[in-house]
Structures are given as structure tokens and as C-alpha cells.
Amino acid sequence: MSGSAAPLLSVRNASKQFGTFKALDGVNLSVERGQRIVVCGPSGSGKSTLIRCINGLETLQGGTVVIDGVALSQDRASLIRLRRDVGMVFQHFNLFPHLSVLENCVLAPMKVRGENRPEAEARAMEFLAKVHIAEQAHKLPAQLSGGQQQRVAIARALCMRPKIMLFDEPTSSLDPEMVGEVLDTMVALALDGMTMIVVTHEMGFARQVADQVVFMDRGEIIEEAAPADFFANPTHERTRNFLGRLL
Ligand code: ADP
Ligand code: MG
């Protein structure tokens, strides 16, 4: 049932245990096309586990993930489709260290999307220009600053033309002076209409671009609201405590 009426992403009653520990406990999340969701919550609350289950790096024990009308499963066709449709940006960039910036960007489009080299390179240069890094295309990742590497990671994900982009604390390992350039890139992407789920504690970013802020604690979504409400009138004690600690 693929169509514009259904949400682009739907997570239903998702649960995930590590041993007896419930990392996700009945999580429900719906993301419409073009919607931007910011996920926050204390360390260990399940944010990364949720993101990793949505992009197939972890498997759920209960519940479902449906992306653009197709239920996520472990068969090869489903995972290939997932790699095309879902872009991922990690805290630690995860660029291939032995490949140039350009090679990092063309690898998956050529392997997974079957693009030929000239078209993959042309598109990669477009996205590298968008994140203001085209002139570094032939350098190795280690020759770039952390902020530049993270912008390459964003460009690399965009080269797959994903339907949704997932970010897991994309600025948490950056020096403070580099956080702004990465957030600016993400704001530009949001203004372009990209559907995004962003795990971050950058509440300025949440206020600026999020349609919805989701607060997780102990594997559950405790509260979700538009940013204005979320910051002005947090309903739950745990949300208030968390926001209090951020300030
Ligand atoms: P967050 O991203 O919100 O900090 P995580 O989703 O990374 O939290 O982790 C949630 C909980 O699940 C933590 O207590 C963590 O230790 C545990 N956890 C995550 N991944 C694993 C794993 N592969 N094996 C065992 N425990 C894990
Ligand atoms: Mg995490």
C-alpha cells in the first residue's frame, strides 16, 4: 500500500531486548513525508537502538517497521531496498578511511543503485558542492576536519537519493566550533523538504526545524509535541528533569 496518504515511515509497537534488558518497549512512531522529527532523551534511553532498528542494523523482537508501504524484513531484497531508501549519518562519520571523499560518495550508488561511474561522480560532485566541500573531493577523510568529514557523510548519504535521512547524534563528537557548520547543512536539507529523524540534544536545531520533538526514556516514548509546546509545557516530570539538565 504505497501512496501519499500513508505515512512514509511507520514504527508499530517496536520492542527490542538485550538479554532481559528492554532497550525498546512498545515504541510507536509515524513520520509523514517532509516531516522532521527530533528525538532526545537521556543516555541509554534507546534512541540509537530505535534508529538502528529502522535502518536494519538491529532486528526487532516485536512490532513492525514499514517504510513507504513496505514492511522491513531480513530478506536480501528488503535490505537492499532499505539501503536505497534510508540514509544514515552516524556520530563518528564512519567514512571509509582508505577511500577519497569522492570514492566514499560513489561506492554505494554504483554497487547498490547500479549507476555508472560518470553519473555517480557527477551526482556526488553536486552533493559535495551542496555541503560546500567539492574542492576537497580528492582528499582522504583524515585530511579533513571533523565538521568537514561529517558534511561528507551527509553528502554520501544523499547520493543514494534516500526517501528519509536518519541522524544519530551527528554533532556529538565534533569540536564546538564545528557544530554550527554541520547543523547549517542539516537545516538546509530540512528546508529542501527532506524527511528526517534526528537524534540530537541541539535544542536550537529542534526549535528551528523540528515539526515534532520526541522524548524517550527507558525504552519508551514518554512525550511528543511540537517544539514550542515541548519546551514551554513539558507534561512529564522526566521530561522536565531532562530539559532542566540541558540548560
Ligand atoms: P541511547 O542511544 O539512547 O544512548 P542505546 O539505544 O544506545 O541508547 O542503548 C539503550 C540501552 O540498550 C543501553 O542500556 C545500552 O547499554 C543497551 N544496548 C544497546 N545496544 C546493545 C547491545 N548490542 N548489546 C547489549 N546492550 C545494548
Ligand atoms: Mg545513542
Nearest ligand 1 atom to the CA of 19 is 25
How far apart CA 110 and CA 240 sit, in angstroms, is 47
Confidence at 245, pLDDT banded by 50, 70, 90: confident
- One-letter amino acid identity for 47? K
How far apart CA 242 and CA 41 sit, in angstroms, is 7
Over the stretch 14-70, which tens digit does the pLDDT of each residue have? Answer: 999 999 999 999 999 999 999 999 999 999 999 999 999 999 999 999 999 999 999
Interface TM-score (ipTM) > 0.90 = yes
The ligand minimizing its distance to the Cα of 172 is 2
Is the shortest distance between the CB of 44 and ligand 1 below 6 Å? Answer: yes
- How large a percentage of the chain has pLDDT more than 70? 98
Query: Do residues 50 and 210 touch, judged by C-beta distance below 8 A?
Result: no
Computed over every residue of the chain, the mean pLDDT equals 95
- One-letter amino acid identity for 26? G
DSSP string, 43-77: TTSSHHHHHHHHTTSS--SEEEEEETTEE--SSHH
Best residue among 18, 52, 217, 238 to mutate for probing ligand 1's pocket (most ligand atoms within 8 Å of CB) is 18
CA 23 to centroid of ligand 1, rounded, Å: 6
Is the shortest distance between the CB of 48 and ligand 1 below 6 Å? Answer: yes
CA 141 to centroid of ligand 2, rounded, Å: 23
pLDDT of residue 79: 86
How far apart CA 58 and CA 95 sit, in angstroms, is 20
The H-or-E segment that residue 111 falls in is helix 101-111
Q: Which residues touch 44 (CB under 8 Å, ≥6 apart)? A: none
> pTM of the prediction?
0.95
How far apart CA 59 and CA 21 sit, in angstroms, is 15
Query: Do residues 192 and 131 touch, judged by C-beta distance below 8 A?
Result: no
DSSP conformational letter for 226 = -
